[in-house]
Structure 1
């Protein structure tokens, strides 16, 4: 579904991506791991076209991501942002239905609200939450609202940016289970950015280890613990010593 071929991206003298190659199969859940500042979010933004790569090609479902109808291209994606990123001034249902009330996906207000309530129920929230404002919700509830928004338009591809950041272990487990269930139910292609190894084990079909601007290892999550790759082993075991230099 997504292919990144020899992607380079620099910001001045900061060479973030140095020839990244990655394939994400249709209907699979790929998790990209790596330390902070290694380019995980930049890779995601390049796919969406929020940032233009310096060189290399990105294809989505066999077509160049940089060509064609931009609105139609973005309509294929859903996104769960780090920290939920809800609009404080809008009630919950309007946050969930935000995309359904504008652009090529525009629906009548009543229909958009009905869909929003359905998606809220799918992530375990009752209808009375729909008319509250984000500030009235706990962090875990806000994250669920963000997940409901990500799936509101039935996207083919869903991106999850650090989905469990700021959540306690129990709520992190709830969100991980929801992500896994929803991705399987929808048959969606998923790409997750995280350094939470509990999330990796819960939601990944395949993982990719990003370090120094390239993918150091990729394969099934079942092979992760015996990969034989020094970068991956150091990262998942949390060792200070190894090829990944710890910033002190």
Structure 2
């Protein structure tokens, strides 16, 4: 579904992506791991076209990500943002139905609300939550609302940016389980960025280790613990010593 070939991106003298090669199969869940500042979010933004790569090619479903109708391209994606990114001035149901109330995906008001309430139910929230405002919700509830919004338009591809950041272990487990269930249910292609190794084991089919601007290792999550790759091994075991230099 997604293929990146020799993708490079620099910001001045800061070479973030140095020839990134990555392939995400249709209907699979790929998790990208790596330290802060290694380019995980930049890779995601390049796929979406929010940032233009300096060189290399990115294709989505076999077609150049930059070709064709931009709105139609973005309509294929759903996104769960790291910080929730809910609109404080809108009630929860309008946050969930945001894409369904405007643009090319616009639905009648009552239909959009009905879909929003159904998606809230899917992530374990009661219908009355729809009329509350984000500030009235806990962090875990806000994450669930963000997840409901990500799936509201039935996207083919869903991106999850640090989905469990700021959550306690129990709520992190709930979110991980929901993500896995929903991705399988929808048959969606998923790409997740995370530092949380519990999340990796819960939601990944395949993982990719990004360091120094390139993928150092990629393969099934079942092979992660016996990869023989020093970068991956150091990262998942959290060791200070190894090829990845700890910032002191």
Q: Under TM normalisation by the shorter chain, which class is it? A: over 0.9
TM-score by length of 1: 1.00
How far, CA to CA, are the matches of 1:213 and 1:66 in structure 2?
22
> Residues 153-197 of structure 1: CA distance to partner in whole angstroms, max 9, x if unpaired?
000000000000000000000000000000000000000000100
Aligned residue pairs: how many?
Answer: 248
Structure 2 counterpart of 1:223: 223
Structure 1 counterpart of 2:97: 97
Structure 2 counterpart of 1:126: 126
Moved over 6 A (4+): none
Aligned with 2:180: secondary structure? Answer: helix
> Residues 26-45 of structure 1: CA distance to partner in whole angstroms, max 9, x if unpaired?
00000000000000000000
Shift of 1:83: 1.4
How far, CA to CA, are the matches of 2:14 and 2:205 in structure 1?
32
How far, CA to CA, are the matches of 1:141 and 1:127 in structure 2?
13
> Residues 89-126 of structure 1: CA distance to partner in whole angstroms, max 9, x if unpaired?
00000000000011110001110000000000000000
How far, CA to CA, are the matches of 1:197 and 1:226 in structure 2?
15
How far, CA to CA, are the matches of 1:140 and 1:85 in structure 2?
13
How far, CA to CA, are the matches of 1:78 and 1:102 in structure 2?
15
Structure 2 stretches lacking a partner, 5+ long: none
> Does residue 1:8 correspond to 2:11, yes or no?
no
How far, CA to CA, are the matches of 2:229 and 2:148 in structure 1?
37
Structure 1 counterpart of 2:189: 189
TM-score by length of 2: 1.00
Shift of 1:203: 0.0
Structure 2 counterpart of 1:42: 42
How far, CA to CA, are the matches of 2:109 and 2:214 in structure 1?
45
How far, CA to CA, are the matches of 1:194 and 1:7 in structure 2?
21
How far, CA to CA, are the matches of 1:219 and 1:99 in structure 2?
34
How far, CA to CA, are the matches of 1:90 and 1:10 in structure 2?
37
